[in-house]
Amino acid sequence: MCGIFCLLSLSPARRVRDEALHEHLRRRGPDSSGDLTFGGTNPYYQCLFSTHVLHMRGLLTPQPVQDNAGNVLVWNGEIFGGLTVRPEENDTAVVSQRLSSCDSPSQILSVLSAARGPWGFAYYQKAGDYLWFGRDFFGRRSLLWNFDAEVGALTLTSVASRGSGPAPCAWQEVPASGVYRIDLKAAADAGSLTFEVYPWARGGSDLASSFGPATSEPVPGGCSAVMNRSGLVLAAPVCPLNTSVPESLSAGEVPPDSRRCAEDLQQLLSSKEKDDEASRLVAVLSEAVRRRVQSLPCAFRPSGELASVAVLFSGGIDSMVLAALADRHIPARQPIDLLNVAFRLQAPKKQKESAKKHGKDKNKATDSTTEGADPRTFSPFDVPDRITGRAGLKELRELNPERRWNFVEINVAKEELQKIRQERICHLVHPLDTVLDDSIGCAVWFAARGRGFVVEDGERRPFTSSAKVVLTGIGADEQLAGYSRHRVRFTKSGHEGLIQELKMELDRIPSRNLGRDDRVIGDHGKEARFPYLDEDVVSHLNALPVWEKADLSLPRGVGEKLLLRLAAKRMGFGQSAVLPKRAMQFGSRIAKMEDHYEKASDKCTRLLTD
Ligand SMILES: *[C@@H]1O[C@H](CO)[C@@H](O)[C@H](O)[C@H]1NC(C)=O
Ligand SMILES: *[C@@H]1O[C@H](CO)[C@@H](O)[C@H](O)[C@H]1NC(C)=O
Ligand SMILES: *[C@@H]1O[C@H](CO)[C@@H](O)[C@H](O)[C@H]1NC(C)=O
């Protein structure tokens, strides 16, 4: 993960460097920093590229990378396939070489289309004076933009800073709907910016729909975008979603059945077809995890091995599967860190007091966890995710007793949450701003920091995770119908409705989650990796008809993400294969700490800085 930055100025007006923003960038890439300025005088333009590198593989490649021809690249990405990067090579150098050999837009698009993995980049193409930039198909790396019309300056950056800079409210995420090209000479002549857009082909019939939903988002004020009439597009790295619906009831829908549980999964697996389907998913996911946990710089100290991989770990099925697959590919002597975050629960009130309070305030949501709990044995961090996390740890230990699993209990009190939110998290979440963005942003930030306790031989000691790679389970619910709204949609409008919902969610995942999570996790000098959004995993799941992935006529804890549950069962899991979904903001109890009345989609006032 790196912090990349590009400032394009169309006038020689001096600009003050935004120190706060550069500090945020530096935290993403602590291993090396570099700047490079270039431009043209007649007509005038100037471009400043700046990068902070987090070193992950090969030799450390300082950036910006400039080749012999004068092309310049800033790259925040990982190549996991598509372009050949040998283990000892750095992917930045490989991308730079590949782009150097391109003379036409279609060649550049074909390099970018071929790359498998997350990326955000900016590239100065010397021949013709073009500036290219954009994000991968899923938007797994953050890129923000902002245009200051007064002085004619465009800024691109991995992370911004709330409330500073020339136009503080104007940061937007660059839509992950394609890549953009600016003709710098033409822009300098005109004194204004036009982006030429090369969209990702998203598998619609006409170009407008294949351009994706993100285009409706405006480009920064003062700029304009044009589609290239030559019809050049980036080839989508995944196949389109299978939209077939079952022909008859027997093909897809088992009539609603009352009680089903782990034994039923076992029973389903006794069907050869289901068992094969589950084992195919295990194989493709396993490969996605392998690509993400191997060839990492070894983190050791003389005293012993340190983990180089951590998992955001709630004990739910998504994170259990990732942990178990990581276990297959990480050397046996290396620990794996399981990051489990909890926000302090209120101590239970004495019975009388609480009865009185509820009499007065009937609408107040009651806390099912602390209600009726014994104040003497009450443990303020035993939130739901902590409890399922411990149970999950037990299952992982049974699966592989040789492995050292560091179950990191990360406990957050309200005072620290408030402090860090103001200091850091509000800048990272920005420009997103809802209550949900705040809850998830904070929970993920503390989890990824990895500072807490581990219990070893009955002893509790402070522990800080050293892992630079953080695996997250995002994408499983969106593809395998894990959310309760999927059930609502299915009940109301059947398979067709469910398919529409899934398609819409996969399309909006860049703007809803991924940029934000990348900014939040990157702040620790760590890299978020998303195995469920590996191109091969998405293609595999997209090709399957929806009824293979989920069967929402089955009860909660079985029907959603049915295929993943079968896979988990097949991998040897017990109870964790049938846990119902619990969203992170509820499982970690961060939502409980805050205002009980607000809605997840409301603007979050806590994210405002003074
Ligand atoms: C990595 O990148 C640097 C700088 O571009 C280059 O000098 C070096 O040879 C590259 N290393 C490998 C192994 O490709
Ligand atoms: C579209 O791309 C072609 C080929 O690179 C180029 O010649 C043409 O000027 C572009 N069209 C627009 C509208 O920018
Ligand atoms: C969708 O799934 C159905 C049922 O398994 C299958 O027959 C069909 O070939 C699939 N379509 C695509 C485009 O993969």
Among 179, 206, 227, give the residue marking a domain's end: 227
| Residue 48: C-alpha distances to residues 6, 131, 154, 280, 450 (Å) | 6, 12, 11, 47, 34
117 CA distance to ligand 1 centroid (A)?
Answer: 20
**Once rounded to an integer, what is the mean pLDDT over residues 557-579?**
87
Domain interval for residue 526: 264-345+381-607
In a domain, 208, yes or no: yes
Among 227, 252, 287, give the residue marking a domain's end: 227
Same domain for 491 and 543, yes or no, is: yes
**pLDDT band, very low/low/confident/very high, at 218 (cuts 50, 70, 90):** low
In a domain, 175, yes or no: yes
In a domain, 239, yes or no: no
Same domain for 65 and 187, yes or no, is: yes
Nearest-ligand number for the alpha carbon of 194:
2
Same domain for 444 and 539, yes or no, is: yes
Q: Is the CB of 32 under 6 A from ligand 3?
A: no
Tell me the one-letter amino acid at 4: I
Tell me the one-letter amino acid at 439: S
Nearest-ligand number for the alpha carbon of 545:
3
Write down the residue that tokens 């999964």 correspond to.
265
Q: Is the CB of 242 under 6 A from ligand 3?
A: yes
Question: Closest Cα to atom 11, ligand 2: which residue?
Answer: 228
In a domain, 362, yes or no: no
List the Cα angle 461/462/464 in 5-degree steps.
Answer: 135
Same domain for 275 and 215, yes or no, is: no
pLDDT of 301 reads: 61
**Closest C-alpha among 107, 62, 58, 97 to residue 78:** 58
Same domain for 195 and 329, yes or no, is: no
Domains identified in the chain, total number: 2
Percent of the chain exceeding pLDDT 70 equals 86
Q: Which of 344-358, 373-387, 401-415 has the lowest mean pLDDT?
A: 344-358
Q: Is the CB of 543 under 6 A from ligand 3?
A: yes
Is 302's pLDDT higher than 60?
Answer: no
Question: Closest Cα to atom 7, ligand 1: which residue?
Answer: 61
Distance CA 362, CA 56 (A): 54
| Residue 471: C-alpha distances to residues 321, 397, 447 (Å) | 11, 19, 11
238, 241, 244, 273: which to mutate for ligand 3, most atoms within 8 A of CB? 244
pLDDT of 205 reads: 37
55, 59, 94: which to mutate for ligand 1, most atoms within 8 A of CB? 59
Same domain for 563 and 508, yes or no, is: yes
Is 369's pLDDT higher than 60?
Answer: no
- Cβ atoms within 10 A of the Cβ of 247, count? 8
CATH assignment at residue 563: 3.40.50.620
CATH assignment at residue 177: 3.60.20.10
Nearest-ligand number for the alpha carbon of 247:
3
542 CA distance to ligand 3 centroid (A)?
Answer: 10
Same domain for 221 and 295, yes or no, is: no
Ligand 3 nearest-atom number relative to CA 545: 2
Beta bridge partners of 198: 179
DSSP secondary structure string for all residues of 81-95: BSS---TTS-HHHHH
In a domain, 588, yes or no: yes
pLDDT of 608 reads: 77
In a domain, 533, yes or no: yes
| Residue 109: C-alpha distances to residues 65, 231, 321, 438 (Å) | 19, 12, 35, 36
Question: Closest Cα to atom 5, ligand 3: which residue?
Answer: 545
pLDDT of 41 reads: 82
Q: Exposure pattern of 102-128 as b/e (b: 16+ CB <10 Å)?
A: beebeebbebbbebbbbbbbbbbbeee
Question: Closest Cα to atom 10, ligand 2: which residue?
Answer: 228
For residue 392, give the H/E element and its range: helix 384-399
**Once rounded to an integer, what is the mean pLDDT over residues 120-149?**
94
327 CA distance to ligand 2 centroid (A)?
Answer: 49
53, 55, 61: which to mutate for ligand 1, most atoms within 8 A of CB? 61
Residues recognised as catalytic: 2
- Cβ atoms within 10 A of the Cβ of 422, count? 15
Question: Closest Cα to atom 6, ligand 1: which residue?
Answer: 61
Among 227, 251, 280, give the residue marking a domain's end: 227
Same domain for 196 and 330, yes or no, is: no
When the pLDDT of each residue in the chain is averaged and rounded to a whole number, the result is 85
Q: What is the pLDDT of residues 28-77, one digit of tens each?
A: 988 878 889 988 888 899 999 998 888 776 667 778 889 999 999 999 99
pLDDT of 256 reads: 47
pLDDT of 355 reads: 46
Same domain for 119 and 74, yes or no, is: yes
Ligand 1 nearest-atom number relative to CA 61: 2
Please give the backbone phi and psi of residue 274, each rounded to the nearest 5 degrees, phi first: -65, -40
Q: Which of 125-139, 152-166, 210-224 has the lowest mean pLDDT?
A: 210-224
In a domain, 234, yes or no: no
In a domain, 245, yes or no: no
Question: pTM for the whole thing?
Answer: 0.89
Q: Which two tokens stand for residue 218?
A: 């405006």
Q: What is the pLDDT of residues 64-95, one digit of tens each?
A: 889 999 999 999 999 999 998 887 777 888 99
Is 362's pLDDT higher than 90?
Answer: no
**pLDDT band, very low/low/confident/very high, at 271 (cuts 50, 70, 90):** confident
Same domain for 31 and 139, yes or no, is: yes
Same domain for 327 and 191, yes or no, is: no
53 CA distance to ligand 1 centroid (A)?
Answer: 14
**pLDDT band, very low/low/confident/very high, at 451 (cuts 50, 70, 90):** very high
Sign of the four-CA dihedral 208, 209, 215, 217:
positive
Same domain for 511 and 434, yes or no, is: yes
Pocket of ligand 2 (CB under 6 A): 105, 196, 226, 228-230, 232
3-state secondary structure 144-167: EEEEECCCCEEEEECCCCCCCCCC
